[in-house]
Structure 1
Amino acid sequence: MLKLRSILSLILVITIFLLTPACSNNEPTSRFEGAQQESTQPQATAVAEDAVKGGELNRYFPKTEDSYQIIYTQEKRGFAQAKLKEDGEELALLSISDIANNPSASNKFKDSSEMIKGYPVVNQGSKASAVLVRDRYQVKIISRSDQFNEESRKEWLAQFDLDTLAQL
Structure 2
Amino acid sequence: MILHRGRTVVAALLLSVVLLTTACSSTPKTPGRFDQVQKESTQQKKNLAVAKTATQGSEFNKFFPDAGDGYQRVYTQEKKGFSEAKLKKGGKDLALLSISDTTGTDAATKFSKSTKKIGGYPAVEVGKTQTAILVGKYQVKALSRDLSFKASDRADWLQKFNLDGLSKLK
The answer as to 2:168 corresponding to 1:161 is no
CA distance in structure 2 between the partners assigned to 1:85 and 1:46 by the alignment? 28
The 3-state SS of whatever aligns with 1:21 is: coil
Q: Which residue does 2:113 correspond to in 1?
A: 111
Return closer, same or farther for 1:46/1:143 CA change in 2, 3 Å cut-off. Answer: closer
Whole-Å separation in 1 of the counterparts to 2:26 and 2:60: 55
TM-score (norm 1): 0.76
CA distance in structure 1 between the partners assigned to 2:72 and 2:132 by the alignment: 20
**Structure 1: 5+ residue stretches without partners:** 1-16
- Report deviation, 1:66: 1.5
- Aligned pairs, number: 144
Task: Give the equivalent residue in structure 2 for 1:13.
Answer: none
1:80 aligns with 2:86: no
Question: 1:1-168 alignment to 2 at 5 Å?
Answer: 21=28, 24-28=30-34, 37=38, 41=42, 44=45, 45=48, 47-102=50-105, 104-134=106-136, 136-168=137-169
Supply the distance in 1 between the matched residues of 2:36 and 2:159 (Cα, whole angstroms): 43
Deviation sequence 1:93-125 (CA, Å, 0-9, x none): 1100011121x2111001111111210000010
* TM-score, length of structure 2 as denominator length: 0.75
Larger radius of gyration: 2
State the percentage of identical aligned residues: 45
1:41 deviation in Å? 2.8
Distance, in Å, in 1 between the alignment partners of 2:57 and 2:154 is 22
One-letter amino acid matched to 2:120 = G
SS of residue paired to 1:41: helix
